[in-house]
Amino acid sequence: FIAGLDKLKSLPAETLDGFRVELLTNTGLLADATPGLERGAEGVGLYRSEIPFMIHDSFPTEEEQLRIYQKVLAAYAPKPVSMRSLDIGGDKQLPYFEMAEENPYLGWRGIRFTLDNTQLLITQIRAMLRANIANGNLKLLVPMVSRVDEMVTFRQHVEKAVDDLNKLGYPAKLPSIGMMVEVPSAMLLIPKLAPYIDFVSVGSNDLTQYLLAVDRNNPRVSALFDHLHPAVMLALEYIQKECENHDLPLSVCGEMASDPVAVLVMIALGYQSISLSAFNIPRIKLLIRSVSRAELLPILEKARGLSHESDIRALFSDIAERAL
Ligand code: PEP
Ligand code: MG
């Protein structure tokens, strides 16, 4: 098995008819670096920076963050690492910072929280920029964007932090800055946001939650939570088109990147990059290498006419099963 993994690791994730998919990995722990690299991850598509914050007992300082980020960036260098700014709120709570809200998923989450706590945000950005000096493989990713001004302000903070660091003698450089599309308004605003972003990453977990108004963690409605819902499929198609129109590199980093059927749908829609847990990379790579995109296109066409996610799943599942 290990020998098989090793062989697979060096092979590209490419369909039989030559459609290449970049396979990145999701992480938040330094301990994940080895499994990711062993399984042939081509970089980190999502580094969840809240994870080191969660296992600390107070907000980590700039120096403490610097040491963590340096190790992650060094482990993957020269491969790219997209580090997401702190995404707390909703289901992600810090043990040392209480946030009691009646409706936390619609409240103080992600970029909203950090823009209201700029000292925290600036400290984190500085730590990431300093960590990036050694290898230059950092990309920044902003969670829970729902308005254009959030990206404008975030970018200003990063530019100012680069300037400040340069004045102090650190050779920090402006990294590329991407936006998570996980709130429906961000998806619809891609044309207006395009001037302020260098790439897009779809957070399909939250996008599904907000598009369908289904709590991603509530077992009572979990049967309604499905990233193959026809509205989610339409959203993914729209995002892909808009990103192509605006020359924005696009990736998907939610759980759907680990779902074989959803991966087939994304390939048919033209997605060329996905980010998933290291554990699932070999299986998804095998799947990609055993299908042709040409056989998926007519199935996608049929799926467009369907109204129920289980019918969409059924259409693609024969191919997924044949492959795995
Ligand atoms: C998502 O929402 O799909 C995502 C990748 O972010 P998280 O799961 O960390 O909210
Ligand atoms: Mg999310």
In tens, the pLDDT along 258-276 reads 999 999 999 999 999 999 9
Q: Tell me: pLDDT of 4 over 80.
A: no
- The answer, yes or no, to whether any atom of ligand 1 lies below 6 A from the CB of 89, is no
Residue 187 alpha carbon to ligand 1 centre in Å:
15
Residue 203 alpha carbon to ligand 2 centre in Å:
5
Give the number of the atom of ligand 1 that is nearest the alpha carbon of residue 50. Answer: 9
- Reported as a pLDDT band with limits 50, 70 and 90, residue 191 is very high
> What residue owns the CA closest to ligand 1's atom 8?
205
Exposure string for 304-315, b = 16+ CB within 10 A, e = fewer: eebeebeebbeb
Q: Tell me: pLDDT of 112 over 80.
A: yes
Q: Which of 157, 206, 158 is nearest to 186 (CA)?
A: 206
Structural contact between residues 204 and 257, judged by C-beta atoms closer than 8 angstroms: yes
pLDDT of residue 91: 84
CA 323/CA 299 separation, integer angstroms:
16
- The SS3 assignment for 149 reads helix
Please state the rounded mean pLDDT for residues 301-310: 97
What percentage of the chain exceeds 90 in pLDDT?
92
- 261: Cβ contacts below 8 Å, ≥ 6 apart: 228, 313, 316, 317, 320
Q: How, if at all, do strands 22-27 and 273-277 pair?
A: parallel
Longest dimension (CA), the chain: 59
> What residue owns the CA closest to ligand 1's atom 4?
203
Tens digit of each residue's pLDDT (9 = 90 or more) over 216-253? 999 999 999 999 999 999 999 999 999 999 999 999 99
Give the DSSP H or E segment for 177.
strand 176-181
Structural contact between residues 194 and 155, judged by C-beta atoms closer than 8 angstroms: no
- Reported as a pLDDT band with limits 50, 70 and 90, residue 33 is confident
CA 66/CA 169 separation, integer angstroms:
16
What is the token pair recorded at 28? 């938040």
Give the number of the atom of ligand 1 that is nearest the alpha carbon of residue 46. Answer: 5
Tens digit of each residue's pLDDT (9 = 90 or more) over 10-19? 999 999 999 9
State the chain's mean pLDDT as an integer.
96
- The answer, yes or no, to whether any atom of ligand 1 lies below 6 A from the CB of 50, is no
For the beta carbon of residue 192, count every other beta carbon within 10 angstroms. 12
> What residue owns the CA closest to ligand 1's atom 6?
203
- The SS3 assignment for 180 reads strand
Q: Tell me: pLDDT of 1 over 70.
A: no
Give me the phi and psi of 177, to 5 degrees please: -120, 125
pLDDT of residue 294: 98
Q: Which ligand has the minimum distance to the alpha carbon of residue 276?
A: 1
pLDDT of residue 129: 98
- The answer, yes or no, to whether any atom of ligand 1 lies below 6 A from the CB of 309, is no
Q: Tell me: pLDDT of 177 over 90.
A: yes
ipTM over 0.90: yes
pTM value > 0.95: yes
